[in-house]
Amino acid sequence: MRRWERKRDLRRRPKGFARFFTRQLLLFAACALLIVVVDFLLYVVIAYRESEANYNDGSPSSVTRVVDGALFASQDGAFELGADGEGALDAHGAWSMLLNAEGNAVWSRGLPADVPTSYSVQDVAMAAHYAAIADYPAFFWKRDDGLLIVGFPKDTYWTFTLTYPVDSVRNLPLYALLLFTVDVALLFLLYAVSRRRTQNAVAPISQALDDLSEGRAADVRLKGDLREIGQRLTEVSGLIEQKDAARANWIRGVSHDIRTPLSMILGYADAIAGDRDMPAEARSGAAVIRAQGLRIKDLVTDLNTASQLDYTARPLSLERVRPARILRTAAAAHANAGLDETHPIDLDVGPGAADAVVLADERLLARAVENAVANARLHNEQGCAIAMSLRIEPSAGSGAEAGRAVMCVADNGAGASAAEMAALEGRLARARTARDAAGSYGEEHGLGLVLIDRIARLHNGELSLSSAPDKGFRVEISLPLA
């Protein structure tokens, strides 16, 4: 059935699935960024540790500098190495020698047997280029009195000789920025593509859930990893349809079975209550039976109306309806049923309201008015006066809406306290969020006001209630004019 207000809510409702998977993709991007940050921090920590361990006091260059500072010539011209230099060499298992201008070793310490002690200019150049002598990693330091060489055990250091153009080195920051930009663009592209694919994948599921919430059947056909979910949704939709059909059939069957004996009870009760030859006590009892029978009849009618609203695909039969005629019909039916004795009714149609027209389902709108009148009788069994009225309220804004027709049913009975009104408003709020109106049956006071509110909202209208203890109860149904 057409439910305008629900459809407007569905259009305004955000795409829950898309938002959920968007969060997941953003979480994935955040995790990727976190990994990059953690990797960078680990790199900094490892670089600092390696620098402290091998590139400060323990680096080959630092050992070479210590040996250079500790090596000196004695008064007799011989070279001697101080304790600092010896300690540095011994700590790394290193050796050292000093070559004079002719390439001959004039001093050495810990020199391996396979290391030559005399070098040509070409030998020194090649050794300095490859940073190795006889496969020993070697490091060179120029002194005023010669060339200092410090060697380390084999396979302790690797030396790479790299040559880059100056322009390439200068462009390194630009290259790094380019790589970062490309990475960010690829990450964004991956996010956009994944989000689009996710939305396309879950759109049928979201639509199926909307259909189920509206009471429509859902047939979801998906492929890939979501195929099983689609099949489950289709199965659930079939089960819901079966249960709804069984429930609707049960309500219709019970209503039909009740109507025939109820009509006979009401007929006999009405005959006894109207028979002046019967004892007063019998007529009084018959009147009570008739009142309670009418109450049962109203409940059965309410159940049928709720069932039709919730479990049938019958759309609203919209037509141009005059609210004044509906009120007059309800007042006449009330009088013809003999209910004016304890609940006299009065009808007042305001200026310009007699010809007012609304776009509505006349059957449902009449049921809403009947329920409002029945509500007044139900809560004032000792009797009360019922006032029905119709007025036109102009549109509050300057939009296209021509105004609203307000149908009012008020009584001067017992009324309701503030606590009772708060409970009633809470019940109406719960019924508005329930899956169906019939699902709220079983709470106090039946379905009457719940159905009035439901019917008003189906017609883009509103229900307004007001009451006070001993000041009566007022029901107003406001509908937009056609």
**Tens-place pLDDT, residues 164-214:** 788 888 888 898 889 888 888 887 888 788 778 777 777 787 778 777 776
Entry pTM: 0.47
Q: What is the pLDDT of residue 399?
A: 53
pLDDT at 260: 74
pLDDT at 57: 60
Structure confidence at residue 352 (pLDDT): 87
Asked if 61 contacts 159 with a C-beta cutoff of 8 angstroms, the reply is no
Q: What confidence score (pLDDT) does residue 34 get?
A: 83
Using one digit for the tens of pLDDT, what is the confidence trace for 68-106?
A: 999 998 888 899 999 999 999 999 899 999 999 999 999
8 Å CB contact between 131 and 159: yes
Taking 70 as the pLDDT cut, the residues of the chain under it are 1-22, 51-58, 214-215, 224-225, 247-253, 255-256, 302-304, 306-316, 396-401, 433-447
| Residues 24, 32: Cα–Cα separation, whole Å | 12
Q: What is the pLDDT of residues 119-128, one digit of tens each?
A: 999 999 999 8
